[in-house]
Structure 1
């Protein structure tokens, strides 16, 4: 019998921690809890779980620092929890190795769904895929990173800057689901006054350009409530 996935919740607010523990345990997961970053790191050094849910605003050690230290000895998936909405927090969290970013207040069911998606993704890959070279092919695409261009079915696409950045990010990690927040942070990190609908709009325009060359194919997958991926 397969053991249930193990989750470590690092959260100092007891009410929030209890809600997460209940939601994940009723979803069939084995859940443990630490209220402080220092105690969590000691536990993680002794035994690494399948996934970590990490609050940014811990009383002893900032959650970002906990994640930085964790990344020196483990690549376990991490979901950040935070009460802050600032874009810079999302960028920092994703750049230091977080897999997802959830802003409080949040739906426990949505959090459980995000956990399941990340666990499935982690379970299907033994090691992270290497970044492609300057020109690489995947699913009918050719990515020329040096020339900042993408070909589809042997024809170069006429892409805007952000269309290229969006499509090339998806191409580098086929099958990986990126949430809107992750795409906003990784693609539009230097653009002012962007909104979440920007992601949907650019996905729509990229799809239109792909369909203009091959009407019967749509390699960009929509995952309701979670984000987008490129068909693996």
Structure 2
């Protein structure tokens, strides 16, 4: 009886493992989208749909990541159709630094163009390509808001789409030790060359860094 029970358990476990194996098939990684053929896009962003950059509670760092997909709103900007995301800046911007751009995905990066807007949606500031840097896993520009700034618009940069960003992910550790024959060192791990393509789709990302998180506590309730 015990032998039969064990066989049943083994059979059940095998079936479970088989089911898991069947459902764990690898999902293809999203590739870069290098064509964007939307037509009839509005010429002004929908400010009423702006995503808030104000956290529920003051914090030193607050990040909002937004997928940019085929169904993301489109905009005719600088004479070209582009997907876009618009964010509403916090009311108190004096003590905040904004990091705006796109997060790196496995095979692609959304090609970000960043424009600061006033309360009516008119541009107040744009950023040159050499102001964008790779900061960890984000390709972005950093800035402090100015009086009159109310929104930040993230669109795609057509001239960047299709270009590759190559990097090396270093995951090695070197250890040194003294032996009877002198010193020796060895390295474990690997260096992985990585290449990503700028895309019309990906993930837009905004981080807000607050230098005075006690500000809310100072204000009367």
User: In which range does the TM-score fall when normalised by the shorter chain?
Assistant: under 0.3
Q: TM-score, normalised by structure 1?
A: 0.22
Over alpha carbons, which structure has the higher Rg? Answer: 2
Q: TM-score, normalised by structure 2?
A: 0.23
Q: When you count strand as a share of all residues, which structure comes out higher?
A: 2
Q: When you count helix as a share of all residues, which structure comes out higher?
A: 1
